[in-house]
Amino acid sequence: MNTTIESGLANQLIPTEAELIQRAKNMIPTLIARADACEKARMVPPETVKEFEEAGFFNIVRPKALGGYEMSPHVFYKVLHEIGRGCGSSAWVLMVIGIHNWEMALFPEQASQDLWGKDPNAKTSSSYHPWGKVERVEGGYLMNGTWRFSSGCDHCTWAILGGMIFNKETGAVEDNRVMLVPRTDYTISDNWYVFGLAGSGSKDLILENVFVPEHRTHSLLDCFNMVDAEKRNPLYRTSFGNTFSFAVASVMIGIAQGAIDVYIEQMRVRTNTMDGSKTGLSPYVRDRLGHASSKVRGAKARLAAAMAEMEKTIAEGRQIPMMDRANYKWDAGRIGRDAEEAVHLLYKATAARGTMLSNPIQRFLRDALVGSNHITLNADDSAGNAGGVMLGAETTDLVL
C-alpha cells in the first residue's frame, strides 16, 4: 500500500455511480458551448480538464490504494457516454487519461510513487505503438525516436510509451513493453492538424537518449495475456486490451448520442421551405432517427452485456477465456461501426444545412469518422480474428 499517495486523497468522499453520471450530464451544455473553440485550438480547454478533475472522473477506475475510487470501468464508460454528447474531443481526452489510471495497477508500485508521489493529480498521455527505438540497457531501457498520436499530451506531465524489445544477438522480439516517461524527458511536436477529433491534441512526442528505469515499465504482452492477474485486485484482472477497447467504443457511443440530440432539436423546429410543413413530420426524417437511435441503444446494450459477463467471470474466480476476449474485441469494433453509421444516417437527412460549420452535427460526423478509425475499433479485423478462434486458430490480435 502506498501511504504517500493515499494520504493525498484520504479525505475525499467517493461519489456514487449516479452522482458521477449526473455530473457528466450537467457538463454537456458547457462542453457544447466550448466545442468550436476546442476544435480551433486543437486541444481541450484547460478549464475543461480541470472540471473533469474536480468532478472526480480521473479517479473512477484508479485503484483505492493509489488514491482513486476503484469503481467498475462500466461506470467510467457511462460517464464517457455523457461527455461525448457535448464534445467528442473532450470525451476522447478524458477517456485516454482516465483509462491510464486503471493501467497503473499493472506497473510496479514504485512507478505509481514516481507518478503521484508529489502530485496526486498528475496525468499521463500515451502512444502504445512501438514507433521509436527501445534498447535494453543495464537497469532499464534507452529510448530514441518519435511516438505519434499522444492524445491530451498538452495536459499531462507524464507519458506511457510502447516499444519492442529485440534480442541483440538474434534480432528476435523478446517483449513488447510500455515505459512511463516524465514530461521533462520529451518534447511535444505541435503537428495535430486533422479534420476530426481535432481538439484531442494527439501530437507527437520526441525522445532522445532517454533512460527509463526498469520499475517504470511493464510488459504489454503480459497485461494483454493477464499474466499474474490472480495476484491483483479483481477489478484489474481483466485484459487491458478489452478494457481499453471498450473505453474507445464508449466515446463513440457518446458522439452518436450527441448527434441524435442535435438532430432531434433541429427537426422539431425545422420547416420545409417549399410548403412550410414541419420537417419532423417527414417519414424519411423519422426513419433515419429511428434507425440511428436503435443502433446507439444496441451499442449500449452490447457493451453492458459484455461487461456483465466479464465481471461475472472474474467474480467466480475464473480467467477470461481467449474466445470471450476475442468476442469482446469484436463487440468493441461493432459498437464503433454502429455509432459511426448512426451519425452518418442522421447527417444525410440534414441536407445542405448539415454541412454548415455552424451546425454541430457535421462535427459529430467528422469526430465519428476519425474515432471509428482507431485501431481498437477495426471491426473487420476483430470479426475475422473471433471467427478464427472459433475455428481453432491462434489469435492474430495481441490487443485483447
Contact 302, 335 (CB under 8 A): yes
Q: Confidence band (pLDDT; 50, 70, 90) for 3?
A: very low
**Domain boundaries along the sequence of the chain:** 3-116, 124-219, 238-390
Give the CATH class of 124-219. Answer: mainly beta
**Range scoring the smallest mean pLDDT among 8-12, 195-199, 361-365:** 8-12
pLDDT of residue 154: 99
C-alpha cell at 121: 493529480
* Residue 11: predicted pLDDT: 57
Using DSSP's 3-state secondary structure scheme, residue 7 falls into helix
Question: What would the pLDDT profile of 227-236 be if each residue is shown by its tens digit?
Answer: 777 778 899 9
Q: Which helix (H) or strand (E) holds 223?
A: helix 220-224
CB atoms within 10 A of CB 289: 19
Q: What's the CATH architecture for 3-116?
A: Orthogonal Bundle (1.10)
Averaged pLDDT score across all residues of the chain: 94
Query: What's the pLDDT tens digit per position in 218-227?
Result: 998 887 777 7
Q: Percentage of the chain surpassing pLDDT 70? A: 97
Query: In the predicted model, is pLDDT for residue 7 greater than 50?
Result: no
Q: pLDDT of 248-277, one tens digit each?
A: 999 999 999 999 999 999 999 888 877 877
Residue corresponding to grid cell 476546442: 38
Q: Give the tens place of pLDDT for each residue, 167-187.
A: 888 888 888 999 999 999 999
Sign of the torsion formed by the C-alpha atoms of 319, 325, 326 and 328: positive
- Higher-confidence residue of 379 and 277: namely 379
pLDDT at 365: 99
Q: Which residues are CB-contacts of 215 (< 8 A; sequence separation ≥ 6)?
A: 107, 108, 110, 111, 114
Please say whether the beta carbons of 252 and 258 come within 8 A. no
For residue 186, which phi and psi values (nearest 5 degrees)? -145, 160
pLDDT beyond 70 at 9: no
List the CATH code of the domain at 238-390: 1.20.140.10
